[in-house]
Amino acid sequence: MTASCIFFCCLLAGLDVPWELSGGRRGTDPGISALERELADSRKMALEKTRRSLGLVPGKLPIRWVLRLGRPADGTGAAKADAGWTEVGEDEVVVTIPAWRYLGFPTKVRRVVIHETVHAVMASKLGTPAAYRALPGWFREGTALLVSGEGPGRVKGRISSTLLEGGRSGGFLSGLVGAAPGSLGGRRVTGAEGYLAVRWIEERLGKSGLRELLAKLVSGGAFEETLGELIGLTPGRVAKAALRYCSERIRGLISERSERLFAEAVALCSTGRHGRARKALSSLRALDGSVAVRDTAVFLQARTLVEDGLYEEAGGLLESLLRDGYEVPWEPEIFEQLGRCRAGVGKRREARSFWKMVADRFPHDSVVQARIAVLLKGGEPREP
């Protein structure tokens, strides 16, 4: 066993402590114990994965791991970061996981713990908040999405949301389109775009090259200069090459034909022509070039079935979208619609259980919360 492996094993042993409980009493909820066990296992997995993928282990700043039981009275915690968050201070790094999000669904926390561990270890190793924030936000977030495995889903979700807003599939790449030479690290871009850019860096440099880049950054290297030196391009050319790669990856996930058919289906849904919309969505799902929007197409198809009172068929489609090990796009809305399916066949108690769960797990989503509040009062909210 190498000296670095021995050091890491000792480090893991020192971190084998319970997560700190904060913001409320433990109580007797058995879900807390199940979540604590999952968090302990996920943290070990996350630290090992961060070491193997990035060559990073905790450094100068200690990391504190917190399971928050109660929501802040002003709601800032939930609004700031819905799934989990990492705060970098002068004396420590604090990773916080909101218990309300994962009670009853403990395995869904795994990817989130890995994601936040990447942020925490990176900040700990860099040693100061200033050094951590000197790295572009898109690089920090993109790296976390890469290691956690969340990146592909984030890209598909962003493509779908961009199309639903009436844009083109690559429209969310505007952060890099407008980047002037020398400003690659100075523009705010989406997490999806950050992930694609980091994927490009990894493919260009290789996995060992990405670890070398991080090692140089930890040693005090400036981001743009270090990246340009390793890749062999000026910052302006780096931005253009990254944008070209991102555009190509998106085009590999959705063809122009699929994009047009998706827009037609959305238009049919919005005008109440549900039968024709479902036919278009079914055709879309069968196309090879529709990978990015298939799950969204299933959700839209299910929602038209709910609106037409075809609850059993809708319920089957909605349940097919859910996953045990991680959250999926549309998760709050999926459970909202499943509640409508239960209510539609007279199972009002099950419906309320679904809606109450959405209210508890997703307090950050004000739009969904407004509809759920109406449903729980027995009303019918306006459709989004």
Task: Find the domain containing 146 and state its range.
Answer: 136-253
367 and 260 part of one domain: yes
Same domain for 297 and 347? yes
Q: What percent of the chain has pLDDT over 70?
A: 87
Q: Is the pLDDT of residue 348 over 60?
A: yes
344 in a structural domain: yes
Do 148 and 265 lie in a common domain?
no
| Domain identity same for 289 and 208 | no
Q: What is the pTM of this model?
A: 0.89
Domain stops at, among 253, 284, 308: 253
Confidence grade of residue 380 (pLDDT, cut at 50, 70, 90) = confident
The pLDDT assigned to 182 comes to 41
- Residue 202: phi, psi to the nearest 5? -65, -40
Longest dimension (CA), the chain: 66
Question: Coil, strand or helix: which one is 85?
Answer: strand
Distance CA 129, CA 135 (A): 10
List the strands of the sheet with 63-68, edge to edge.
20-22, 63-68, 93-98, 85-88
Query: Is 383 part of any domain?
Result: no
Tokens matching residue 336: 């909202």
Neighbours of 322 (CB within 10 A): 14
**Whether 296 contacts 160, CB under 8 Å:** yes
Of the ranges 51-60, 70-79, 163-172, 364-373, the best mean pLDDT one: 51-60
**Phi and psi dihedrals of 20, rounded to 5?**
-70, 130
Residue 68 shares a structural domain with residue 143: no
In a domain, 10, yes or no: yes
Mark whether 6 and 122 lie in a shared domain. yes
**92 and 158 share one domain:** no
Residue 381 lies in a domain: no
pLDDT of residue 18: 82
How much is the pLDDT for 382? 63
Q: Is residue 200 part of a domain?
A: yes
Cα→Cα distances 100→23, 50, 66, 105, 352, Å: 11, 26, 13, 10, 17
Residue 332, domain member (yes or no): yes
Q: Specify whether 28 is located in the same domain as 118.
A: yes
Within the chain, strands assigned E span 20-22, 63-68, 85-88, 93-98
Nearest CA among 104, 115, 243, 118 for reference residue 172: 243
Could you tell me the pLDDT band of residue 383, with boundaries at 50, 70 and 90? low
Rounded CA-CA distance 381/383 in Å is 6
What's the pLDDT at 214? 98
Output the pLDDT for position 79.
Answer: 42
Picking from 19-33, 234-248, 283-297, 342-356, which range would have the lowest pLDDT averaged per residue? Answer: 19-33
Domain boundary among 134, 165, 193: 134
Give residue 78's pLDDT.
Answer: 43
Q: Of 35-49, 168-182, 202-216, 311-325, which range is least confident?
A: 168-182
Helix (H, G, I), strand (E, B) or coil at 88: strand
Give residue 132's pLDDT: 97
Of 54, 9, 237, the C-alpha closest to 148 is: 54
Q: What is the pLDDT of residue 379?
A: 72
Q: What is the mean pLDDT of residues 289-316?
A: 97
Overall number of domains in the chain: 3
Arithmetic mean of pLDDT, 366-372: 92
Is it the case that residue 74 has pLDDT exceeding 90? no
- Taking residue 275's Cβ as centre, other Cβ atoms within 10 Å add up to 10
Question: CATH number of the domain that 272 lies in?
Answer: 1.25.40.10
Between CA 117 and CA 121 the distance in angstroms is: 6
3-state secondary structure of 172: helix
Q: Let me know whether 115 and 35 are in one domain.
A: yes
Residue 76 has a pLDDT of 46
Q: What is the mean pLDDT of the chain?
A: 89
Least confident piece of the model among 80-84, 310-314, 319-323 = 80-84
Q: How confident is the model at residue 70 (pLDDT cuts 50, 70, 90)?
A: confident
Of 209, 227, 253, the domain-final residue:
253
Instruction: Tell me: do 301 and 211 sit in the same domain.
Output: no
Same domain, 273 and 330: yes
- What confidence tens digit (pLDDT) does each residue in 166-210 have? 999 999 886 554 344 344 444 467 899 999 999 999 999 999 999
Q: What is the pLDDT of residue 183?
A: 46
- C-alpha dihedral (267, 269, 273, 274), degrees to nearest 10: 150
pLDDT at 320: 96
Pick from 17-31, 118-132, 328-342: least confident: 17-31
Stretch 242-265: mean pLDDT? 95
| Whether residue 267 sits in one domain with residue 249 | no
